[in-house]
Each structure stands twice: as structure tokens, then as C-alpha cells.
């Protein structure tokens, strides 16, 4: 199942999935003590897998076309 909270979330998912190289930002010293999972770390593996990229992007496009612009 693929879903998004809103248009901005959908844009984020599309950018993340379409990226060929995903770089992690370095945590600064203050936040390193209080590590929390990022939104992308919580995504399911099938969505992050390169082998599913085209299918996921296709589904994102279909979802985008079904959403009314705000």
C-alpha cells in the first residue's frame, strides 16, 4: 500500500525514490546524543529498493493524478 499525507509528502517520497544516490546528512554533535529515526528510515524496504524504483514511481504518478490540487 502506498499513501501520502499531503502533496508535500508525496513530493518528498517521489524525490527520495527517484534519487539514484541517497546521501545521509551528518548529525551535528548536539543531535547525535538524541538520535531519532528519520522519516526515510521508517519507510518499508520495498519502497527503498532500487529494483522497485520504476514501479513505485509509477504508483506515485497515479496517486498524484488522483489528488485534487490544494
Give tens-digit pLDDT for 35-62. Answer: 666 788 889 999 999 999 999 999 999 9
* Residue 49 domain boundaries: 1-18+38-70
Whether 5 is in a domain gets the answer: yes
Whether 28 is in a domain gets the answer: no
Whether 14 is in a domain gets the answer: yes
The pLDDT of residue 61 is 95
Determine contact, residues 14/60, Cβ cutoff 8 Å: yes
Whether 33 is in a domain gets the answer: no
**C-alpha cell at position 42:** 521508517
CA dihedral 13, 17, 18, 23 (to 10 degrees): 100
d(CA 23, CA 51): 18
Number of domains in the chain: 1
User: What is this structure's pTM?
Assistant: 0.74
Amino acid at each position: 500500500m502506498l499513501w501520502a499525507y499531503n502533496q508535500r509528502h508525496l513530493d518528498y517520497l517521489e524525490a527520495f525514490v527517484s534519487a539514484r544516490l541517497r546521501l545521509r546528512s551528518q548529525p551535528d554533535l548536539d543531535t547525535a546524543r538524541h538520535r531519532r529515526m528519520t522519516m526515510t528510515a521508517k519507510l518499508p524496504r520495498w519502497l527503498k529498493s532500487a529494483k522497485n524504483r520504476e514501479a513505485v514511481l509509477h504508483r506515485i504518478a497515479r496517486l498524484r493524478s488522483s489528488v485534487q490540487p490544494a
